[in-house]
Structure 1
Amino acid sequence: MAAETLSPAPRSRREKTCEVLAVLGGYLGFTVANVLHRDLGFWPSLLIGIGLTVPTVLFFNWLALPERRARLASDAERGLIECATRRPNAIPGSLQDRWKPGYAEVRDGTIRFQALYVDTEPSGPISTFSLLGAPKPVAAPAKRPADVRRQWKIVSMETDQGPLQLAASDNGLKLLEPGK
């Protein structure tokens, strides 16, 4: 019997295609730089490689952004948010102290969280937390953790399993408010 998983909306064909094209564009940019390396030298060829790669990646990510936002909005309507969690009282440097990206289903004061172990699909065990108090905003750390996206905000809350910090977008955090 297969384990239960949270099922976010699947990525669209455009999102998948743009991701592949961004990777291929980066590969092409640095291949051109590698060919020019002997004629131009290291630094000029590196700058040409970066100059070809960065705009290509940004362009294809920009093309996929509206569909990604629409997909995340439809997930939020179903009570499913893309987020990251951590335990603030864990031993520093332990796995519980690190941010775990994943998806959370928020319903009736309960958060069911499943981590992204394969980078695109939630897998592994589902952790269930019952909220004991309203979420409180946390000041952003001086250095943003790698698994916390730039636009996300961090809240701290008391749960039945101890304190929990959750980072998500504004739309996702609205689902955590009492009465939602």
Structure 2
Amino acid sequence: MPQKDLAPTPRGWPEKLHDANLDGYLLIAVVALAVFPLQESIGFWPALAMVVLAGGAATMLVELLFRPVKRKRIASDARQGIFECAQRAADASAPGKWAFGYAKVERGRLLFQAKEGFSGSVAGRVEVFPDPRPAGPLVKAPWLAFPGGKAITLHTGRGMLELAVSASSLELLTGRSAA
């Protein structure tokens, strides 16, 4: 019997626009339009410094505005027992190849479903990894796999699996897998 798809909380349209970096493109356009008038009045290097500082501040402001939206979505997923992660076979021939997706821990098994791109919806079939249990120490996850996350090696009924997750997702993983 095929496993039912995981159902993570969908991203809203503001978060989708942010994921597509449309706010960044708008910022680049504003910077390009602002640098030339400033250059004529105060000179090239001071204008460039002002534009870079203003661009950095605007980027930080946008990140602060979207942080509560992202936290709300992640908390909604956590209530369902779903978390974002990256996984790969620990003994893979291509060690840099990570599959990005969503995972859910159920009694005696770990479910994983890949997603489209870095921020897309779930795609493909659900992979079932029976009897997951830690098989190695926690290490810092590779930045390209999960920035700021932790990586854990799990021994499963299908072999060794390396999982890169956030710290809160790791608590969810270890708390539910022990149940």
Q: TM-score, normalised by structure 2?
A: 0.76
Q: How does 1:35-114 map to 2 (within 5 A)?
A: 35=36, 39=40, 40-41=43-44, 47-91=49-93, 94=94, 97-114=96-113
In the alignment of these two chains, the number of paired residues is 171
Moved runs in structure 1, 4+ residues, more than 6 A?
Answer: none
SS in 2 for 1:102: strand
Counterpart secondary structure, 2:168:
helix
Structure 1 CA distance, aligned partners of 2:51 and 2:17?
22
Q: Which residue does the alignment assign to 1:161?
A: 158
Structure 2 unaligned segments of length 5 or more: list them. Answer: none
Check 1:83–1:132 CA distance in 2 against 1; reply closer, same or farther (3 A cut). Answer: closer
2-side partners of 1:45 and 1:13: how far apart?
A: 34
Identity of aligned residues (%): 27
- 1:113-124 equivalent positions in 2, closer than 5 A: 113-120=112-119, 121-124=121-124
Q: What is the distance in 1 between the residues matched to 2:83 and 2:103?
A: 5
From the superposition, tell whether residues 50 and 161 of structure 1 become closer, same or farther in structure 2 (CA, over 3 Å): farther
| CA RMSD of superposed structures (Å) | 3.0
8 Å CA contact retained: 2:134, 2:152: no
Query: In the TM superposition, what is the alpha-carbon distance from 1:130 to its structure 2 partner?
Result: 1.2
What is the rounded CA distance, in whole Å, between the counterparts of 2:12 and 2:135 in structure 1?
32
Provide the rounded CA distance (Å) in 2 between the counterparts of 1:47 and 1:135. 50
- Partner Cα distance (2:73, 2:28) in 1: 28
